[in-house]
Structure 1
Amino acid sequence: MASDVATVRGQQTTLEHKPPRSRWWREVGWRHVIGVVAIAYCLLPLLYILSASLNPGGSLTGSNQLFKTIDFTNYSDLGSTDFSTWAVNSLIVASVTAVGTVLMCASAAYAFSRFRFTGRRATLTGLLLVQMFPQTLAFVAIFLLLLSIGDVFPVLGLNSRLALIAVYLGAALGTNAFLMYGFFNTIPRELDEAAKIDGATHAQIFVTIILRLVAPILAVVGLLSFIATYGEFVIARVVLQTPENFTLAVGLYNWAADERNAPWGLFAAGAVIASVPIIVLFQFLQRYIVGGLTSGSVKG
């Protein structure tokens, strides 16, 4: 009799601790639904463009049935176009811009974090205010400026990849410098003082100590800069004039400009290949991303 009572009480306790289905949906279930919808929203366009790249018919409407036809003709046909030239141009512009952005913003952030000089706070505020206005608002001024500079220094005028890199670097200082500035403030100043006692200069402290400690934020800024410039279109379209200097964004746009006669199969294949460097770079640097984006918010 006692064992039967204990069994009944155990079953009642199990039922009491088991959450009802309605409570599970309120607390956990709706999150799963939103997660599945978000994943589908992100994956379906990717699957569609991949299916279109494998469709030799060259029509997006013919790709409504995903992966009905699998053919790599579009990928092989890219070799007879300027796609490889555009890809090289994009990699050069994005890589040089990313490296220049990291070096320039790291130097500025170190100066703002470690030095105390007249106008420091006003300069920080000015950088922040300038970055509140998107760069696309100035593309007319950029066009006229490069047109005038090209008369004196053709290498920095229109239709120059170096001029495009200079424009990108000019817009990269504000936001990235602030991001690095917050991270630099988390590095103890005692390290600087100890290095100075040993006779190290500011340049030696910056290169041999600080840059190694702030590697996560350098990786994050470099990655964000690379992604932003690799796929940027408006400024690149204004600056670059001839097909041999086009980046991927501008070149692929020219393919899709005529909607009726556009080679959509080639466009889709080019878009798939163009995404590979971003995916590889993101996978390589992903271990730095969370730490680099969050550590700078601890102290600023």
Structure 2
Amino acid sequence: MTVTAPVLPETTTPTPLLPAKRPFRFSRWFAATGWRHLVGIAMVVFSVFPLLYVLSASLNRSGTLLQSNGLFSSLSVENYVELFSSPERPYAAWFANTLVIGITTALGTVFLGALAAYCFSRMRFTGRRVGLLSLLIVQIFPQLLAVVAIFLLLTTLGEVFPILGLDNQIALIMVYLGGALGVNTYLMYGFFNTVPDSLDEAAKLDGAGHARIFFTIILRLVAPILAVVGLLSFIATTNDFVISSVILITPEKQTLAVGLYQFVSDDFTANWGVFAAGAVLAALPVMALFLYLQKYIVSGLTAGSVK
């Protein structure tokens, strides 16, 4: 005798009631998110328009400021050719000087600032708090106020050590290092404090000294802040005009900021196209360095948001 199991009635799963979709209303969308799109578009236009205008002026052969108002009305590379063909205005030498001074200053600022920040962060010595406070107080006064003092100091030093006198690039690098160490040291000091002290203690138990801890452990962990400081130092050095114009006198030793001014110093609208071409080329090293260090900057921001 075969026994069959009773057939149970099928149970149906109740379907959830979806809320009715509200009709699209422009006023509600604009009040919620639409105004943000307008602000973003306005900021993009505000930021991109000067760059497009300078690029268009560099490709316009007319060369004047008034005739460069039409964006990309004419395309020509004659301004770039004239930029490198003028014997009285050696743009190639200016470009090389800017790279040498900027890279040397950036590397020196990063190295010396990291050493000072490590000392303030890891070591306890007399005058530590006074030193940190002095760094903040010194940065209140801009370096521009010390132009006259720097000029007199380099004039006197040049009589004893010509390499540290006026019209010398090494003297300019020393001035840049002295002005950038304060704020960069304090900036690195805050990032060094985020590194746990237990790493230093473990390394000391293995027999490592301060030099080995600094070069093999700490520098690798604080790479994001080193990249940021190096980038900021390079940009500030490249854009500086006042101090470099006071120290560097010979045209072959000047930087891009000082040299490009010669194109528009006599008549502001005469060589505008050549000036714009030089400005476009001067922006390429900064852009390349920023793109190269972008991964370190982004990793530093994400690490700081998690700690």
**Superposed displacement of residue 86, structure 1:** 0.2
For the structure 1 residues 149 and 54, does the alpha-carbon distance in structure 2 shift closer, same or farther, using more than 3 Å as the test? same
Letter in structure 2 aligned against 1:44: F
Which structure 2 residues correspond to residues 181-260 of structure 1 after superposition, within 5 A? 181-259=189-267
**Superposed displacement of residue 263, structure 1:** 1.5
Residues in 2 aligned to 1:145 and 1:297: alpha-carbon distance in whole angstroms: 44
- Indicate if the aligned counterparts of 2:60 and 2:68 stay in contact, CA closer than 8 A: yes
**Larger of the two Rg values belongs to structure:** 2
For the structure 1 residues 231 and 129, does the alpha-carbon distance in structure 2 shift closer, same or farther, using more than 3 Å as the test? same
**SS of the residue 1:280 aligns to:** helix
Equivalent in 148, 167, 185 of residue 159 of structure 1: 167
For the structure 1 residues 142 and 295, does the alpha-carbon distance in structure 2 shift closer, same or farther, using more than 3 Å as the test? farther
- Indicate if the aligned counterparts of 1:109 and 1:181 stay in contact, CA closer than 8 A: yes
- Indicate if the aligned counterparts of 2:65 and 2:270 stay in contact, CA closer than 8 A: no
Letter in structure 2 aligned against 1:68: S
Letter in structure 1 aligned against 2:20: T
Name the counterpart of 2:181.
Answer: 173
Equivalent in 138, 145, 155 of residue 137 of structure 1: 145
Letter in structure 1 aligned against 2:139: Q
The normalised TM-score by structure 2 is 0.89
Name the counterpart of 1:13.
Answer: 20
**SS of the residue 2:140 aligns to:** coil
Which structure 2 residues correspond to residues 96-115 of structure 1 after superposition, within 5 A? 96-115=104-123
Asked whether 1:59 is paired with 2:64, we answer: yes
Unaligned runs of 5+ in 2: 1-16
Equivalent in 241, 266, 278 of residue 286 of structure 2: 278
**Of Structure 1 and Structure 2, which has the larger fraction of its residues in helix?**
1
**Superposed displacement of residue 259, structure 1:** 2.4
Letter in structure 2 aligned against 1:53: S
- Indicate if the aligned counterparts of 1:183 and 1:297 stay in contact, CA closer than 8 A: no
Residues in 2 aligned to 1:295 and 1:104: alpha-carbon distance in whole angstroms: 24
The worse-fitting range, judged by mean Cα deviation, of 82-91 and 257-266 is 257-266
CA displacement, residues 123-174 of structure 1 (integer Å, 9 cap, x when unaligned): 1011011011110011011111111111111111111110110000001111
**Superposed displacement of residue 285, structure 1:** 0.7
CA displacement, residues 85-135 of structure 1 (integer Å, 9 cap, x when unaligned): 000000000000000000000000100000011111111011011011110
CA displacement, residues 268-289 of structure 1 (integer Å, 9 cap, x when unaligned): 1100011001111111111222
Name the counterpart of 2:73.
Answer: 68
Letter in structure 2 aligned against 1:205: I
Asked whether 1:87 is paired with 2:95, we answer: yes
Name the counterpart of 2:29.
Answer: 24
Residues in 1 aligned to 2:301 and 2:153: alpha-carbon distance in whole angstroms: 35
Identity %: 59
Letter in structure 2 aligned against 1:173: L
- Indicate if the aligned counterparts of 2:66 and 2:269 stay in contact, CA closer than 8 A: no
For the structure 1 residues 36 and 102, does the alpha-carbon distance in structure 2 shift closer, same or farther, using more than 3 Å as the test? same
The normalised TM-score by structure 1 is 0.91
Report how many aligned residue pairs link the two structures.
288
Aligned alpha-carbon RMSD (Å): 1.8
**Superposed displacement of residue 26, structure 1:** 2.0
**SS of the residue 1:108 aligns to:** helix
